[in-house]
């Protein structure tokens, strides 16, 4: 347990972290990768370049400092991060490296303001927080390994089938190379893929939501090809999967992980809202609800640029046609002429609250949403405006966790 003196000192640094948190975490990653370049095999380089990882860590450090006297408050966040760490292969031996460089970065950024007293308090606090993460992650590793069909680390899977779903999204059906069973998962969870690509110094790991219902002899992921756009470079991994990985290729996968999961015990209506490739966990949830024979009212809402970019539309429409409790609705930002001719979309432009309320009769429902961060901010703001309870507005970030509250 932390001493009262250390708790008081940590709390006194909260205003400083609010101002300098991102500068500290940016410097932290620079120092850590210079000292331990092998960790570049774990971290997502694109998130580093975009600053998303630095911001996510700064938010986590700030939250830890703010709630240092009641760390149980941040346990849900700890478990969310721990899922990602287990999926990536973060181990207990990495935590001393992180702690050493985090303290060095605090000292480097704050200079003389980072007194010996402050650094000692943070060293003590980091030790307590690291122990929590290590304990939670050890339990997750053990559960992953011991469950039926489970495994530790990464396991070789073969691409059994590759299916083009839209102009930009392709599905990969993955079966274990060893022919043995696979671990079960909850609708909404993800797997990690580790790749060694020609010309790349480091391995690259990416996490992809599973896009089919559990209980199949395969895992399915549906990947958007991230092409170059303005100042944003093309996605190395997504382009490699689309262009180089073929049926029969082998990929290394970690066991399913994640805490963004469908609550199948709740009997209230469920609303699944997605934008772009954010539909992948939603389709998993939708398929799971349909296959379970659930009588819950299900509203599936998807926003896409147009019909050419809309993945799995036919599959979802066929599912709705077979289940009277499922309704599906499309919103196209820039419908093509062909879209306008068949009029199979319900709205042109963007999802708004008036349209949402016309589709969903009550705010007393479970809302799940996923997509690009700007899209999720809009959906989050609308649900708050409607009065949807915090616990009923559930969402997943693709990549490091961020905040939707600034919407």
Residues belonging to the binding site for NADP(+) are 276-281
Please state the residue numbers annotated as binding site for heme b.
Answer: 85
Q: How far is CA 395 from CA 52, 64, 162, in A?
A: 17, 22, 28
Question: Is 117 noted as a catalytic residue in this protein?
Answer: no
> What is the distance between the alpha carbons of residues 227 and 275, in angstroms, rounded to a whole number?
17
If we measure between CA atoms, which residue out of 199, 203, 151 comes closest to residue 37? 203
- Residues belonging to the binding site are 85, 190, 206-209, 276-281, 397-400
d(CA 200, CA 133): 31
Catalytic choice (29, 62, 124, 137): 137
Contact of 383 with 367, CB cutoff 8 Å: yes
Q: Which residues are annotated as a binding site for FAD?
A: 190, 206-209, 397-400
- φ, ψ dihedrals at 195, nearest 5°: -125, 140
Partnered with residue 208 across adjacent β-strands are 191
Please, which contacts does 232-235 make with residues 24 or more away whose CB atoms are closer than 8 Å?
235/46
Six-digit token pair at 220?
């399915």
Question: Residue 395 belongs to what H/E stretch?
Answer: strand 393-396
Contacts of 228 (CB under 8 A, 6+ apart): 234
Active-site residue flag, 137: yes
What span, in angstroms and rounded, lies between the C-alpha atoms of 114 and 406?
A: 30
Q: Do 194 and 32 form a contact (C-beta atoms < 8 A)?
A: no
* Annotated catalytic residue, options 29, 95, 173, 185: 95
CA 99 – CA 105 distance, rounded (Å): 10
Q: Which residues are catalytic?
A: 95, 137
């Amino acid at each position: 347990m932390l001493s009262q003196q250390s708790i008081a000192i940590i709390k006194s640094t909260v205003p400083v972290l609010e101002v300098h948190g991102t500068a500290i975490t940016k410097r932290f990653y620079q120092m850590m990768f210079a000292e331990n370049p092998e960790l570049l095999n774990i971290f997502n380089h694109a998130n580093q370049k975009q600053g998303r990882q630095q911001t996510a860590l700064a938010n986590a450090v700030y939250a830890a400092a703010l709630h240092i006297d009641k760390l149980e408050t941040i346990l849900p966040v700890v478990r969310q991060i721990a899922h990602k760490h287990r999926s990536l292969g973060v181990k207990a031996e990495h935590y001393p490296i992180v702690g050493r460089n985090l303290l060095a970065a605090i000292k480097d950024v704050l200079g003389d303001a980072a007194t010996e007293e402050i650094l000692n308090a943070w060293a003590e606090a980091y030790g307590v927080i690291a122990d929590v993460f290590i304990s939670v992650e050890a339990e997750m590793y053990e559960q992953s390994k011991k469950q039926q069909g489970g495994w530790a680390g990464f396991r070789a899977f073969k691409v059994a089938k590759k299916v083009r779903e839209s102009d930009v999204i392709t599905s990969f059906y993955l079966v274990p190379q060893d022919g043995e069973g696979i671990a079960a998962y909850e609708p909404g969870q993800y797997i990690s893929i580790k790749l060694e690509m020609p010309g790349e110094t480091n391995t690259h790991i990416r996490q992809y939501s599973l896009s089919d219902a559990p209980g199949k002899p395969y895992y399915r992921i549906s990947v958007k090809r991230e092409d170059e756009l303005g100042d944003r470079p093309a996605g190395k991994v997504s382009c490699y999967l689309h262009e180089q990985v073929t049926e029969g290729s082998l990929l290394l996968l970690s066991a399913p992980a994640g805490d963004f999961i469908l609550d199948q015990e709740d009997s209230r209506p469920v609303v699944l809202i997605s934008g772009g490739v954010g539909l992948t966990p939603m389709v998993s949830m939708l398929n799971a609800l349909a296959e379970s024979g659930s009588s819950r009212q299900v509203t599936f809402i998807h926003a896409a640029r147009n019909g050419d970019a809309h993945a799995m539309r036919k599959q979802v429409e066929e599912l709705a046609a077979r289940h009277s409790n499922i309704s599906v609705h499309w919103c196209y930002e820039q419908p093509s002429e062909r879209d306008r001719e068949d009029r199979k979309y319900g709205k042109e432009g963007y999802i708004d609250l008036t349209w949402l309320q016309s589709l969903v009769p009550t705010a007393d429902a479970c809302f799940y949403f996923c997509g690009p961060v700007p899209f999720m901010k809009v959906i989050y703001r609308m649900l708050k405006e409607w009065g949807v309870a915090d616990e009923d507005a559930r969402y997943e970030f693709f990549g490091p966790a961020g905040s939707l509250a600034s919407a």
